[in-house]
Structure 1
Amino acid sequence: MNAASVSAASAAANARRAVVDIGSNTVRLTVYDGLPPDYRCIVNTKGSCRLGRDMALTGCLSPSGLRRAYKAVGRFIGQALEEQADEIALLATAAVREATDGPAFCARIERRYGRKVRVLAADEEARLSALGVLAGAPEADGIVADIGGGSLELVAVTDGRIGRTASLPLGHIRLYGESGGDPGRAGPLIDRAFAPLGWLAKGRGRDLCVVGGAWRKLARLHIAGRDIPLDGYALPRADAGALARVVLADTARPSRRTGRSQGMAALLFLRLLAAAEPARVVFTTRGIGDGWLVEQAARGR
C-alpha cells in the first residue's frame, strides 16, 4: 500500500459519520467517530413522529407524523453538520418502505434538504440490525430481534455469523392498530406470523439479543435507580418474562402508566420468549446506525 492509500485509509477510519434513522415511530440521529471495531457514538438523540400510526387503517403515513418527521429530519441534518459530520446517511425502514405515499415523502426530503433517503428493503433492515448487535458483541450466538413501530426483524446468529432472517409486520404500533390494542386479538396475529419460522426454535438455551426502544424500556424498568450500563444488560428468560407481564398488565389498567402500544411490545416479547426459549435476554443500545457503520467499514469507506 502506497503512502496515498495509507492516508486515504486513515482518513476514512477517523472520519465522523451521522445516520438519520427514519422509523415508524421515531426519527433518530446518531453520530459516530471512527469505524468498527474502534468507534464511538458521540450523539444519540431522537424525536417521536409516529409516521406509521395510521398504516393499518389507511396504508399511508400519518399526516401529523409527516409534519413532525420533515422537521426532525431537517433538525438532525443541521445538528450533524454542526457536529462536523463528514458523511450523513438518511435511512428509512418499514413505514416508509410500505406506505403508498412513502416515495413522495422521500422525494420531498430530497427536494427540501438536498439529500437522498435510502429506503431499506426488509432483508437489508434485518441484516443491518444484526450487524449493529455484532458490532458490540462480535461472538453473539442465538437470535437477534429488532422491534420497531412497523415491523419486527429476526435474525439467527451463530458465533457472530449471520444466518436466516425474517422481517414481519409486527411492529408495536402496527400491531396495536390491527388488534385495537386487544391482546386477545393480537396474540393470534403474532402466532400466525411466527408459525413458518421453525428456525426460531434453534434459539433454545442461547441468547435472545433485543433491539429497539420499546424493549429497552423493559431493561430500564429493571435497572431503575442503579448505575448499570444498558448496553449488554442481560436477564434470565424467566425474569425478563415476568417483567414483560407486569408491563402488559399495567397497560390494561384504566390508569395505565405506560403507552398503549407498549402493551403490544410486551405481548410480542412474551410470544417471542415462548417461541425461541432462550436462556437469557440481552438488551442492546445498538441498532441500524451501528450496522450501517459496519457496512461502511466492510466497503473500506
Structure 2
Amino acid sequence: MICGIVDLGSNTIRLSIYHWEGQDFRLLLNKKTMAGLAGYVQGGVLSDSGILVACRTLSSYRALLDNFQVSKMHVFATASLRNISNTGEAVETIRDVTGIPVEVLSGDAEAALSFKGAVLPGGVSTGLLADIGGGSFELVSYEDMSITSACSLPVGSLSLYTRFVNGLFPTPEERKAMRAYVEEQLDRARTAGVRRSRLCGVGGTIRALNKLSVDVFHKPPESRSMTAEELRELYKLLKKDGRDTLRQILHAAPDRVHTLVPGLVILNTVIKAYGVEQVTASASGVREGYLMDRVMKL
C-alpha cells in the first residue's frame, strides 16, 4: 500500500510518501516546505495568515498525492498547533477550508513516536533521543530499548530564534540568554540526573548540523556521527558571525541559516547536561514512528 504522511511542524511542513507491506516500508518521496508557522504566533495565537499558510501547503500536498493516485494522506501536528491557545479553531478552520483532518500530537505522544521511528529500527540499545523541532524538543531516556523517561519542552530552534534574536545571528548576550533559557527548561525535564554517552538526534536541525559537520571536518558524505567535541567546535565557528561563517552555512544548510545557532545551543546544552560523547543524526523519526504506529499498527 502507498500513503502520504504529513508532519505539520513549527518550522517546516513535510510530506513523506511511503510504500508499506506487512512490517516493511520504504520512502518513495520526501517534500519539504519552509512554512515557519512559529513566526505567525503572537501572544500565543496562531494568526489567520499562519492558518492560511498551513491550508495552502496541505492543499498542494493533497493535489500532489492525487496526481500520483495516492488516496491515503495522514496529517499530524506537533508544537505548531499544540503550543497555541487557538488549537481547536486552527484545526477546525483547516478542516473546513481543505477537508483535511489534522491530529494534534501531545508532547508525550510525539516523544514516543520519535523513539519508535528513530531508535527501535536498529539504534543503540541505551542512550538519549533528542528530537529538536522548530517549536519544541522532545527528550527521551531509554535503556535496553525501553523508554525510562520522556518529556516535551516548549522550546525549539525557530521559537528560540524568534524569542531572543533580533538580527540574523545572535549576539553574545542573546546566545547567553538562549542558553540560560534552555538550561531552565532542562531543569524541569523528567530525565534530569540521567547520564548517557550516546544520543540519537532527530529533526531537521540535527540533520543540518550533521551536513555542516561533514563539510567543516571533511568527513565522508554518508557520515551521520558527530562527537561532542566536534559540536563544540561548530559552535565556536558559528559564533564568529562573519562572511565566512555565513558562506559555510549557506553551503551546507541554506534554509536554516537563522535557526542553526539556536538549534546548536539546544543540542550542546543537552550534551553538557547529560554527559553525551557522541551524537548520531537519524535518517528517520516521528513520521516513520507515526507510520508504524498509526497506519501499519505495529
TM over 0.5: yes
| Corresponding position of 2:262 | 264
Q: Kindly indicate whether residue 177 of structure 2 is the aligned counterpart of residue 192 of structure 1.
A: no
3-state SS of 2:191 partner: helix
- SS in structure 2 opposite 1:52? helix
CA shift for structure 1 position 123: 0.8
Assess, with a 3 A threshold, how the Cα gap between structure 1 residues 218 and 246 changes in structure 2: closer, same or farther. same
Aligned to 1:229: 222
- Corresponding residue for residue 9 of structure 1: none
Extract unaligned runs of 5+ from structure 2.
Answer: 250-256
State the match for 2:254 in structure 1: none
Cα deviation, residue 22, structure 1: 0.4
CA RMSD of aligned residues (A): 2.4
How many Å apart are 1:282 and its aligned residue? Answer: 0.4
Match of 2:201 in 1: 210
Give me the whole-angstrom Cα distance separating, in 2, the residues matched to 1:236 and 1:66: 39
Q: 2: distance between equivalents of 1:271 and 1:173?
A: 16
8 Å CA contact 1:128–1:288 kept in 2: the answer is yes
Query: Matches of 2:297 and 2:110 in 1, distance apart?
Result: 18
How many angstroms does 1:268 deviate by? 1.1
1:274 to 272, 275, 283: 272
Deviation at 1:105, TM superposition (A): 2.1
The match for 1:82 is 67
Q: In the superposition, relative to structure 1, how do residues 179 and 159 fare at CA in structure 2: closer, same or farther (>3 Å)? A: same
Letter in 2 for 1:154: L
What is residue 46 of structure 1 aligned with on the other side?
Answer: 32
**How many correspondences in the alignment?**
280
TM-score, L = length of structure 1: 0.84
Deviations 1:219-267 (A, max 9, x none): 111223876336xx112221233223323x14x4488625233211111
List aligned pairs for 1:134-173, cutoff 5 A. Answer: 134-173=119-158
Output aligned runs, 1:14-53, within 5 Å.
15-34=1-20, 37-53=23-39
Q: How far is 1:165 from its partner? A: 0.7
Query: 2:88 — aligned with what?
Result: 103
Secondary structure of 2:119's aligned partner: helix
Q: Percent identity?
A: 25
Cα 1:116/1:156, change in 2 over 3 Å: same
In structure 2, what is the Cα distance between the partners aligned to 1:285 and 1:79?
23
Show the counterpart of 1:6.
none
* Partner Cα distance (2:229, 2:276) in 1: 10
Aligned mates of 1:34, 1:222 — CA distance in 2 = 33
Determine the structure 2 residue equivalent to 1:296: 294
Structure 1, unmatched stretches of 5+, are: 1-14
Q: CA deviation at 1:201?
A: 4.4
SS across alignment from 1:44: strand
TM-score, length basis structure 2: 0.85
Distance (whole Å) between structure 2 residues aligned to residue 262 and residue 59 of structure 1: 23
2:283 maps to 285
